[in-house]
Amino acid sequence: MPGLPQPILRVAVPSPLRRSFDYLPPPDYDGRPLAAGLRVEVPFGRGRAVGVLVQLAERPAVAPERLKRALQILDREPELPPDILELARWASNYYHHPLGEVLATAMPEALRRGKPAAGRGERIWRLTASGRTAAADQLRGAPRQAAVLALLHRHPDGLDMETLRRQPGDWRGALRALSARGWVETGVRRAVHTPAPEPQPVRPTLNTDQRLAVDGVLGALGRFDTFLLYGVTGSGKTEVYLRLIEAALARGQQALVLVPEIGLTPQLVARFQRRLGTTLAVLHSHLSEGERLDAWTAAREGHARVVIGTRSAVFTPLHRPGLLIVDEEHDLSYKQQDGLRYSARDLAVIRGRALAVPVLLASATPSLESLYNAEQQRYRLLQLPERAGAAVHPHMELLDVRSRPMEDGLSEPLLSRIARHLARDGQVLLFLNRRGFAPTLLCHDCGWIAECHRCDAHMTLHHGRQRLRCHHCGAERPVDPACPACGSVDLRPVGQGTERMEAALRRHFPDSGVVRIDRDSTRRKGSMEAKLDSVRRGEARILVGTQMLAKGHHFPDVTLVALVDTDQGLFSADFRASERMAQLVLQVAGRAGRADKPGEVVIQTHHPHHPLLQLLTGQDYLQVARAALQERQEAGLPPYSNLALLRAEAPDPQAPAAFLEEAAALAAARAPAGVEWFGPVPAPMERRQGRYRAQLLLQAPRRADLHRLLAPWVAELEQARCGRKVRWSLDVDPLDMM
Ligand code: ADP
Ligand code: ZN
Ligand code: ZN
């Protein structure tokens, strides 16, 4: 169409550059109206990229002769609705991160890669009705078929290609043979659950506190307000969510529920499914591309009335949003630690404001930030101080282990306590936040310690596989047969990990059945569920595990919870350590006595008089939090100030500091009053994965001052020459100072 004015497409492209790029419409453009939110494929650098149209411009930002044509417009209708574009813009400004990358984070992988938006689900194989009743002895001459049949029996929901590909031998041939017998069929798995027509379970009558909480939020449906629900473990918070979601559904609206990564269990989904009896979309990081796109589309089109998801689900478009809920709002998994370092909890509040819907943040151990916001009247505080139903608070006690004999980290009084609970038919949960057999391998003759070659860290001994593994970079090697420094063969594991604890408990209680739950023991799909089932069925009476056990699980028969070793949390240099410790201890303690059996919690410690431990035994989280807030205020730390952390890393040990020195000089040249900076200093773990790391911390009592510096400063850093020798990133509101 020569002569006609052509719109200029301003496109956000996923790239580290903090700007958008202008293009002419593609050659086959038919003149139809274009809207922001359309995906566009464009030439970029030497390749092509999928970007998002963010604006139509009249005049290009570059010389017209340098303008290139877009390759194609991928959608007829914008995939990203205006409110998601707006949220992405907000995040881009607040986190000082390129808009194209924010939008890429917000989109499901399939859309990011330019695929068409119609979801298709994932292909799976499953048993037919005759396959389910087929007897394996009909397959005596066909061991491969028998093995695949047995595998399918263990996976009633079907097997995806990824799992099948891991099977040894000719599984394809076996599947073909089985399907010729009419025993298996292919199907599609979707991350969208449509309800089975089941009678709805009886809803418990709300207690007074729950009623007040529910009424409080109900009064805000249809407008924006933020609520902080502080409810002790087992107080019936989930029941409160369910009532509120029912109310939103009754108004014809949708609800979005964010849960922590390890809180999104099949039981939770089943509970929501049973109670709400409506179509549910589930979004988490283990979905296949197709499943994720399905769930996302169902939410956007409004077919899924309730969306449950982990962190990135905060970006899920909703057709008729009515309510946003963030469960366990203090959980660290809401903060992304790479790329766009956003807090999904904070974005949920921003999104609720833009959508004019209420936001409910909830936790048994709220973050100090949220409690502070409640104190400042920005959030409305709702409280559930008592456990729901018949359950009562567990009794908590410090076990002074100073100068007591310890074997594999277990003291004599703890062992006899375990024996007592087992004898009374209770179950026992032991918590130790360190996986592997032992955190160090030491030469008893010369003092040599096995270290990671790429990190400033010790290697952890994993006994089961007889290997040393670095928990920071994943490096792995066989255990040294002899000390590389002196040749001695007297190498000893020092310290306790969950593997060692499991072995010790099996020795002490050979008849009780011990189950270990940590990242190593639950790597295989379904193994976590299998382990939890054996606990629920009562076969395993002792549970050992890391913080994977701390959240969400309901073990009605656990009467004793023991925290084996939490002392290191008392002496960390991180100013958030005491908050984290209090949250962890109370969350773990909350697993005890959840039903009608009273619970007991013991904490083994060498510091029984430590003020934090003393406070914790009162189990009054608000009291602990108030003390911690007081300290933060005196030190001028968040939430009484705002932080941004500039990190840099490089294989060259000098480069990060050189870059950060330049960054500090640039900050000095333009920092408004009220902004201070500290460093550069080496990161607490200076070398990691073979790269040296350093950081510069910026702090300001007023958020606006900090952001007034950050925007132009980051633009300058992009241009800085020594910035090319390092990998750098900015973390606004950092939670992890490593
Ligand atoms: P939370 O989410 O705070 O840990 P849940 O909502 O899971 O608590 O409730 C804990 C247990 O108490 C569940 O078994 C739940 O069914 C039960 N429960 C919740 N509210 C009530 C109530 N009002 N009356 C009786 N039981 C309740
Ligand atoms: Zn040695
Ligand atoms: Zn390492």
Structure tokens at 381: 């505080």
Please give the distance, rounded to the nearest whole angstrom, from the Cα atom of residue 734 to the centre of ligand 3: 23
Q: For the chain, what is the mean pLDDT?
A: 89
Q: How many helices (H) and strands (E) does the chain have?
A: 21, 34
Alpha helices in 334-384 (DSSP H): 344-355, 368-375
Note the pLDDT of residue 189.
60
Does 157 have pLDDT greater than 80?
Answer: no
Report the alpha-carbon distance of residue 146 to residue 361 in Å, rounded.
Answer: 50
C-alpha distances in Å from residue 526, one per residue of 139, 154, 290: 26, 10, 20
CA 395/CA 592 separation, integer angstroms: 9
Q: Nearest ligand, CA of residue 384?
A: 1
CA angle 123, 260, 281 (to 5 degrees): 40
Ligand 1 atom at minimum distance from 242 CA: 6
Helix 703-719 crosses helix 655-670 at what angle (to 10 degrees)? 130
AA identity, residue 319: H
pLDDT tens digits, 437-491: 999 999 999 999 999 999 999 999 998 768 999 999 999 999 989 999 999 999 9
C-alpha angle 340-343-348 in degrees, rounded to nearest 5: 120
pLDDT value of residue 188: 62
Distance 161 CA to ligand 2 centre (A): 48
pLDDT at site 1: 46
Percent helix, strand and coil across the chain, each to the nearest 5: 35, 25, 40
In angstroms, the CA 514 to CA 500 distance is 12
Residue 238 CA, ligand 1 centroid: distance in Å: 7
447: left (phi over 0), alpha (psi -120 to 50) or beta: left
Q: Ligand 1 in contact with 321 (CB < 6 A)?
A: no
Cβ atoms of 110 and 289 closer than 8 Å: yes
Pocket test for ligand 1, best of 239, 244, 365 (most atoms within 8 A of CB): 239
Question: Residue 687 forms beta bridges with which residues?
Answer: 692
The phi, psi pair for 46, rounded to 5°, reads: -95, 0
β-bridge partners, 491 = 443
Quickly tell me which residue has 């870059």 as its tokens.
Answer: 659
Q: Which atom of ligand 1 is nearest to the CA of 391?
A: 12
Task: Give the tokens for residue 591.
Answer: 């697993």
pLDDT tens sequence across 638-647: 999 999 999 9
Question: Tokens 């018949």 sit at which residue?
Answer: 390
Q: How far apart are CA 91 and CA 609, in angstroms?
A: 44
Q: Classify each residue of 528-566 as buried b or exposed e, where b means 16 or more C-beta atoms within 10 Å of its C-beta.
A: beebbeebbeeebbbbbbbebbbbbbbbebbbbbbbbbb
pLDDT of residue 552: 64
* Percentage with pLDDT > 70 across the chain: 95
Residue 701 Cα to chain centre, angstroms: 29
* More confident position, 616 or 351: 351
Residues 6+ apart with CB under 8 A from 280: 192, 193, 195, 269, 272, 273, 304, 305, 306, 307, 308
Ligand 2 centroid to residue 448 C-alpha, Å: 5
Q: What is the pLDDT of residues 290-341, one digit of tens each?
A: 888 889 988 998 889 999 999 999 999 999 999 999 999 999 999 999 999 9
Residue 90, SS3 per DSSP: helix
555-599 pLDDT, tens digit per residue, is 888 899 999 998 888 888 888 988 998 998 888 888 887 666 778
d(CA 458, CA 146): 45
State the CB neighbour count (10 A cutoff) for residue 521.
21
Q: How confident is the model at residue 11 (pLDDT cuts 50, 70, 90)?
A: very high
CA angle 209, 213, 218 (to 5 degrees): 145
- Give the type of residue at 628: A
Residue 3: pLDDT over 60: no
pLDDT given at position 196: 63
What pLDDT, on the 0 to 100 scale, is given for residue 210? 96
Q: Supply the DSSP symbol for 480.
A: P
How far apart CA 715 and CA 298 sit, in angstroms, is 39
Mean pLDDT for 345-351 is 98
Q: Which residue's CA is minimally distant from atom 12 of ligand 1?
A: 388
Strand order across the beta sheet in which 122-127 lies: 159-160, 122-127, 184-189
Surrounding ion ligand 3 within 5 Å at CB are 452, 454-455, 470, 472-473, 475
Instruction: Please report, rounded to a whole number, the percentage of residues in the chain having pLDDT higher than 90.
Output: 58
Length of the chain: 738
Structure confidence at residue 134 (pLDDT): 76
Q: Cα-flanking dihedrals φ and ψ of residue 361, to 5°?
A: -100, 135
CA 602, CA 559: separation in Å to the nearest integer? 11
Cα 315 to ligand 1 centroid, rounded to whole Å? 29
What span, in angstroms and rounded, lies between the C-alpha atoms of 23 and 35? 15
Residues 6+ apart with CB under 8 A from 61: 10, 22
CA distance 173 to 431: 46
d(CA 145, CA 615): 60
pLDDT per residue over 110-141, tens digit each?
Answer: 899 888 776 555 567 778 777 877 777 788 78
The amino acid occupying position 715 is: A
Q: Is the CB of 604 under 6 A from ligand 1?
A: no
Ligand 1 lined by 388 (C-beta under 6 Å): yes
Long-range contacts (CB closer than 8 Å, 24 or more residues apart) made by 715-723 = 715/18, 716/666, 717/646, 717/663, 717/666, 718/16, 718/17, 718/18, 720/659, 720/662, 720/663, 720/666, 722/655, 722/658, 722/659, 722/662, 723/659, 723/662
Atom of ligand 1 nearest to the CA of 552: 4
Distance CA 502, CA 436 (A): 10
**Pocket of ligand 1, candidates 238, 536, 591: which has the most ligand atoms within 8 Å of its Cβ, to mutate?**
238
Per-residue DSSP letter, 206: P
- Residue closest by Cα to atom 15 of ligand 1: 236
In tens, the pLDDT along 70-93 reads 999 998 888 899 999 999 999 999
Q: Are 189 and 158 in contact (CB under 8 A)?
A: yes
Give CA–CA dist 134/178, Å, rounded.
11
Token pair belonging to 572: 């960390």
- Output the residue whose Cα is nearest ligand 1's atom 25: 389
Q: Is 22 in the pocket of ligand 1 (CB under 6 A)?
A: no
Helix (H/G/I), strand (E/B), else coil: 347: helix
CA distances from 627 to 68, 232, 612, 621, 631 (A): 60, 18, 9, 10, 6
Residues with Cβ < 8 Å from 534, sequence gap 6 or more? 513, 515, 540
> 557 is written with which tokens?
């028969």
CA of 688 to the centre of ligand 1 (A): 44
Sign of torsion over alpha carbons 400, 402, 406, 409: positive
Digit-coded pLDDT (tens) for 164-184: 777 777 888 888 888 888 888
